[in-house]
Amino acid sequence: MDTLSAEIIGLERSALDRWITGDPQGYLNLYAPEVTYFDPFQEKRVDGLETMKTLFAPMKDNKSPITEPRYEMISPKIQRHGDIALLTFNLINYGKLPNQPETMLARWNSTEFYGRIDGQWKIIHSHWSFIKPEIKQAPKQPGA
Amino acid sequence: MDTLSAEIIGLERSALDRWITGDPQGYLNLYAPEVTYFDPFQEKRVDGLETMKTLFAPMKDNKSPITEPRYEMISPKIQRHGDIALLTFNLINYGKLPNQPETMLARWNSTEFYGRIDGQWKIIHSHWSFIKPEIKQAPKQPGA
C-alpha cells in the first residue's frame, strides 16, 4: 500500500474506531464545512457541517445495547486525482447484544470523498448504504 | 446555475433518460476505465469498466414491464475541486405497470464522481442507494 492510501485509510479507521463505540466526534472532526452526506435513514441529502452536528448529537446521549463492537473493512481502495482522494470500501459490523453471542449487525457500501484543504485531509462527501437490503418492494435496477 | 453545473447535470440527465428506457449505454459511455460502483443489488463494490459492461449486459435483453417512465432529479449539487466535480442528488422514479395508473417506483440517493480526463467529463465513481428502505432488520446507525 502506498503512503497516501495508508494515511487516508488510517484517518477513516480512527473515525470508525470511535463511531462504533457511539462517539461521532471522530467523523465530525474530519468533515469539511461543505460536507454533503447520505445514509439510509435520511429523507434526503444532508448538507453542511452544522447540520451534521445536529444529526449526530443524539448519539452522544443514546447508550447502545451493543458490546464488544468491531468491524471488518473490506477491500479499501483509493482513487487519487490531485488533491482529492476517493476512498471506497465495504464494511461489516459485528457486536454482542445482551446475553447473545457475537452476531453480524450490518453490511455497508461506503464512499468517502476526501480533499486536501489547508494541508489537511477532510471529508467533503460521504455516502453510506446497505449491501443488498431485504426490502418489501424492491425495484429491479438503479434509477428505474 | 453556473456553466459547469449545467454541463455535468446535462450529462447525467442524458444518461438517465436512456437508462429509464432500459438502455445502459449512456452510463457505459460516461464511465472511466477505472470506475468503481455501488448499488443495492451487489454483494460488494464493482471495479472497472469491463465489469460494469458485464453487469449491465442483461438489461439489453430484459424488457421492462414499465411504460411511460420518468424521473424527478431533486436538489442536484456540484462540489468542484480542480478537475473533479462531485454531483449529488436525490431521484424519484415514476412509471406505469400494466393496467395501473402511474406510481412511484423508487427513491434514490445518488453520488456521481466526475473527473475531467483528456478533456472529457467521465464518471470515476458511482454510488446508488435507496432512501429509507423498509428492511426487515435495520441497524440503528451507519457503521454500528
The ipTM of this complex is 0.93
What confidence score (pLDDT) does residue B47 get? 98
DSSP tag of A48: S
At B134, the pLDDT band (50, 70, 90 cuts) reads confident
Residue given cell 436512456 in the structure block? B18
CA distance A88 to chain B (A): 8
Q: Closest CB to B79: pick one of A34, A59, A71.
A: A34
Answer yes or no: is pLDDT of B143 > 70.
Answer: no
Q: Closest CB to A134: pick one of B82, B131, B135.
A: B135
At A62, the pLDDT band (50, 70, 90 cuts) reads confident
Q: How many CB pairs under 8 A join A and B?
A: 186
In 3D space, the residue among A19, A86, A75, A26 whose CA is nearest the CA of residue B139 turns out to be A19
Query: In chain B, positions 14-53, which contact chain A (CB-CB < 8 Å)?
Result: 16, 19-20, 22, 34, 36, 38-45, 47
β-bridge partners, B112: B87, B126
Tell me whether residues A109 and B34 touch, CB distance under 8 A.
no
Answer yes or no: is pLDDT of A79 > 70.
Answer: yes
Tell me whether residues A81 and B86 touch, CB distance under 8 A.
no
At B142, the pLDDT band (50, 70, 90 cuts) reads low
DSSP tag of B66: -
The mean of the pLDDT values for chain A is 93
Q: Classify residue A89 by burial, with Cβ atoms within 10 Å: 0-12, 13-18, 19+.
A: buried
Average pLDDT over residues A30-59: 97
CA distance A117 to chain B (A): 10
Establish if A83 touches chain B: CB-CB under 8 angstroms: yes
Answer yes or no: is pLDDT of A7 > 80.
Answer: yes
Pick the residue of A21, A34, A45 with the most B CBs within 10 A to test the interface with B by mutation. Answer: A45
What confidence score (pLDDT) does residue A64 get? 83
* Alpha carbons B38 and A33: distance in angstroms, whole number: 26
Q: Which domains does chain B have, with CATH numbers?
A: 3-130 (3.10.450.50)
Q: What is the pLDDT of residues B23-58, one digit of tens each?
A: 999 999 999 999 999 999 999 999 999 999 999 999
What confidence score (pLDDT) does residue B138 get? 55
Chain B CB contacts of A141 below 8 Å: 39, 41, 59
Answer yes or no: is pLDDT of B14 > 90.
Answer: yes
Helical ranges in B44-117 per DSSP H: 49-56
Tell me whether residues B144 and A109 touch, CB distance under 8 A.
no
